[in-house]
Amino acid sequence: MGSYGKILALSLLMAATGLLTVVGSARADRFDTLRNDPRLHEGLLAITVGRHIERTCPELSRRDLAANVFLLGLATHAMSLGYSRDEVTAYVEDDVEQDRYIALARDYFAARGVMQSDDIVGACRVGRDEIAAGSPIGRLLRGG
């Protein structure tokens, strides 16, 4: 390969690397608007916390209709930000985002004295407190 061929090959490699970097950045930034939206953030955290309470505390359960209406409202809001239904679903199902919300939920419980994910008494206490306060989390739950 002559020097022209080497320069062309190097240029193509650099262009491809730059394109991959741009594609990677675009993918990483794809959910930034959703991730930084306060309504979505608080709503998805409420769902994550409520789901944990429901699964951990046998005396509390999810209010199915309330949860579905709440989720529909969040999805509608996300779509009003310019995302398609498929993009919103991809965001909610994204492993990185799910791990992030699980970590946030752990912090939420820890701030309320629940240090173990299998702490039934703590989860029930937090759930009852949320129901009594009429919070978004509490409106997703009902006593058994």
* 3-state class (DSSP) for residue 142: strand
123 Cα distance to chain centroid: 20
pLDDT digits (tens, 9 = 90+) for 111-126: 999 999 999 999 999 9
88 Cα distance to chain centroid: 10
pLDDT value of residue 7? 54
pLDDT value of residue 50? 95
Pair of tokens at residue 7: 């320069």
Q: Are 36 and 84 in contact (CB under 8 A)?
A: no
pLDDT digits (tens, 9 = 90+) for 70-105: 999 999 999 999 999 999 999 999 999 999 999 999
* Residue ranges per structural domain of the chain: 1-30, 32-143
Q: Are 120 and 109 in contact (CB under 8 A)?
A: no
pLDDT value of residue 30? 83
pLDDT value of residue 36? 94
- Spell out where 52-91 has E strands: 60-62
Task: Please count the other Cβ atoms lying within 10 Å of the Cβ belonging to residue 125.
Answer: 16
**Spatial separation of the C-alpha atoms in residues 74 and 127, rounded to whole Å:** 21
Question: Containing H/E element for 141?
Answer: strand 141-143
**Spatial separation of the C-alpha atoms in residues 121 and 119, rounded to whole Å:** 6
Per-residue DSSP letters for 16-51? Answer: HHHHHHHHHHHHHHTTHHHHH-HHHHHHHHHHHHHH
pTM: 0.78
pLDDT digits (tens, 9 = 90+) for 53-65: 999 999 999 999 9
In this predicted structure, the answer to whether residue 144 has a pLDDT above a threshold of 50 is: yes
Between residues 47 and 29, which one has the greater pLDDT? Answer: 47
- pLDDT band at 13, cuts 50/70/90? very low
- pLDDT band at 138, cuts 50/70/90? very high
Task: Report the number of secondary-structure helices (H) and strands (E) in the chain.
Answer: 8, 2
- pLDDT band at 143, cuts 50/70/90? confident
